[in-house]
Amino acid sequence: MSKFDFIVEDLLSKIYQKKTSNQLKLPSERELSKKYEVSRNTIRKALKKLIDIGVIESIPQKGYHIKLKKNRESLIYSSVTEKKSNQIQSKVLFLAQREMSRKEQNIFDEKLIGKVWELKRLRILDAKVMEIQESIFPKKIFPYFDEDMGKGSIQKLILESGYLISHSLTSFEAINLSDQEAEIFHVRKNFAAMKVVSRTITTEGSVIELTSRIAIDYKGTFRLPFNKSTYDFRHQQDKLNDF
């Protein structure tokens, strides 16, 4: 891990540990530079990353302050979410409508069963492909959908259509790229990657979007509360073996 990455992770840890000199304010650039034994330029870059992912803000003449609302979120940031949507370009590879498969009918609510839009696109930052993304969403949500719409944020379109998003259920799987995927990323065959599959769920409890992302160089930082009931369940057998 580079010094830069370490400083970002350590500052995040201290923010979530609530172990800053002031509960709302970070130490000055000079203090941080001395503490981590790096240049102030490195500190500024680390602080800028924390600003970009929305954890802190810079207030003129007052320094760097913590955004408290971030302390309640599970995903702090990932290599995908640390970038703002207007920094990322999309190239649509495929867009079509088709009937839902039997498997998809089990995922979406009965009232949404019918045709779906299937969208495959590349997400690009600084002329580099960040991820290959495939999304499926019911046509009943978007009776009309075109390639220009497919270049933007699907969740933004969902919200603008009047749906309220509650949360996403997300799974992660380490994979090796296929020949075709490796060619898109300009890496060798069987290159290691991360597959991230998410179901977007409304406040009414309906799955409204299913998206699969394949990303290389994927990193993520999460805040995971300790679950005592899960811990007790997992260690039940240990207690039985003590007798």
Sign of the CA dihedral 208, 210, 215, 218? positive
Residue ranges, comma separated, of all CATH 3.40.1410.10 domains in the chain are 85-222
Which CATH topology does 3-71 take?
Answer: Arc Repressor Mutant, subunit A (1.10.10)
Task: Determine the Cα–Cα distance for residues 26 and 82; give it in Å rounded to an integer.
Answer: 20
> pLDDT tens digits, residue range 83-128?
666 778 899 999 999 999 998 998 998 899 999 999 999 999 888 8
Sign of the CA dihedral 51, 218, 173, 14? negative
> pLDDT tens digits, residue range 132-146?
999 999 999 999 999
The contacts of residue 228 (CB under 8 Å, 6+ apart) are none
Q: Which CATH code, of 3.40.470.10, 3.30.420.10, 3.40.1410.10, 3.90.1520.10, is assigned to 85-222?
A: 3.40.1410.10
Residue ranges, comma separated, of all CATH 1.10.10.10 domains in the chain are 3-71
Contact 190, 177 (CB under 8 A): yes
Tokens 């490796």 locate to 182
Residue of 204, 240, 218 lying closest to 81 (CA atoms): 218
* pTM of the predicted model as reported, rounded to 2 decimal places: 0.74
DSSP single-letter state for residue 135: E
